[in-house]
Amino acid sequence: MILYIFSIMLLIFLAPLMPSFMKMVKMYLLYKKPISIFQGYRDFSKLLSKEIIISKETSAITTIAPFLVLSPLLLTLFFLPPIVRGEYYVSFVDAFTITGLISLSTFFLMLIGLDSASSFGGLGSSREAFISALVEPAMILTLFSVSLMAKDLGIGQDGINLSLHFPSAHIASFIFAGISFFILLIAENGRIPVDNPETHLELTMVHEAMILDLSGFYLLLIESAGSVKFIIFASIFVSLFVPFGLNLPVILAILVFIAKLFILAIIVALLEVNIAKLRLFKVPNLLGIAIVFAFLSLITFYVLGA
């Protein structure tokens, strides 16, 4: 139980670290002076001290919704696969629950965008709906395919099963599911081929457009929700698709887990530097590939048995 609480605290602690780490790697690769890795915490404390300004036009939703954006994601943190052997974990939560909690958070985010009645907010919300509608089926299919390979519907149990018996007989469908989930990780977290959170260009922005009106504590909540979402996806990815290191001694296992997360962050940063952002109407192509790969993974599992 202590390990369980410790691992959740660890994930919450790591959450603001990952985006600033990726930004650091990117700036280093672009020959800029890199920001500190702790920039995430600095932003956190800065936003905490700022005053809150709320537009006159908004209803109560703007004051409630930021909490509702963050809370489903925090809840999801409790259902993730374990990072250490012998740790307490929730075994019965399946693909639908995880996807549903994440979609719930996205739903409230879209409500915030619509609530302030600014033209940008509506635009951002409609784009977010457009993307997440394509993300959900792919995510459910992918997680189900992995669950089939791990022979259990619970995501937490799958992490254990996969680390005990790596599905080398089903390597093809395992890799397809991995490709599909990686595309989803990029799309759902607003990384570069789909969205660029660093710009405020009206042609391209998705995530930023929805939260333009927020400030202070509410902005802090949304920003932390973004980092927590990334850590959720990253930890699902590393524990399901790179299922190694779980059976090591406790300290070592935690270190390996953190190392895997940072390697994943470096890969995403490298990808962001090398790829141009897609036009919004090209995004369905990318997500279409994700859906088809998820389906292909299921098909190859059933038909080829591979």
Contacts of 150 (CB under 8 A, 6+ apart): 157, 158, 161, 162, 167, 240
* CA within 13 Å, CB half, 127: 26
Residue from the set 104, 172, 250, 258 that interacts with another protein by CB under 8 A: 172
Output the smallest distance, CB 126 to another protein, in A. Answer: 17
Over the window 21 to 60, marking each residue x when it contacts another protein by CB under 8 A and - when it does not, the resulting string is: ----------------------------------------
How far is Cα 33 from Cα 303, in angstroms, rounded to an integer?
52
How far is Cα 249 from Cα 219, in angstroms, rounded to an integer?
39
Element (H, E) at 8: helix 2-14
Quickly tell me which residue has 């919704």 as its tokens.
65
Size of the site for another protein (CB under 8 A): 22
How far is Cα 162 from Cα 166, in angstroms, rounded to an integer?
5
Output the smallest distance, CB 177 to another protein, in A. Answer: 11
Over the window 176 to 215, marking each residue x when it contacts another protein by CB under 8 A and - when it does not, the resulting string is: x--x------------------------------------
Select the span of 25-33, 123-131, 171-179, 251-259 touching another protein (CB under 8 A): 171-179
133 binds another protein (CB under 8 A): no
Over the window 271 to 290, marking each residue x when it contacts another protein by CB under 8 A and - when it does not, the resulting string is: -----------x-xx--xx-
Cα angle 59-51-13, degrees, rounded to a multiple of 5:
95
Residue from the set 171, 201, 255, 267 that interacts with another protein by CB under 8 A: 171
Q: What are phi and psi of 38, to 5 degrees?
A: -95, 15
Which C-beta is closer to another protein: that of 273 or that of 299? 299
77 binds another protein (CB under 8 A): no
Q: What is the DSSP string of 116-127?
A: T--HHHHHHHHH
Output the smallest distance, CB 286 to another protein, in A. Answer: 8
Which C-beta is closer to another protein: that of 147 or that of 300? 300
305 binds another protein (CB under 8 A): yes
Contacts of 210 (CB under 8 A, 6+ apart): 109, 110, 112, 113, 121, 124, 125, 128
Interface residues with another protein (CB under 8 A) are 171-173, 175-176, 179, 282, 284-285, 288-289, 291-293, 295-296, 299-300, 303-306
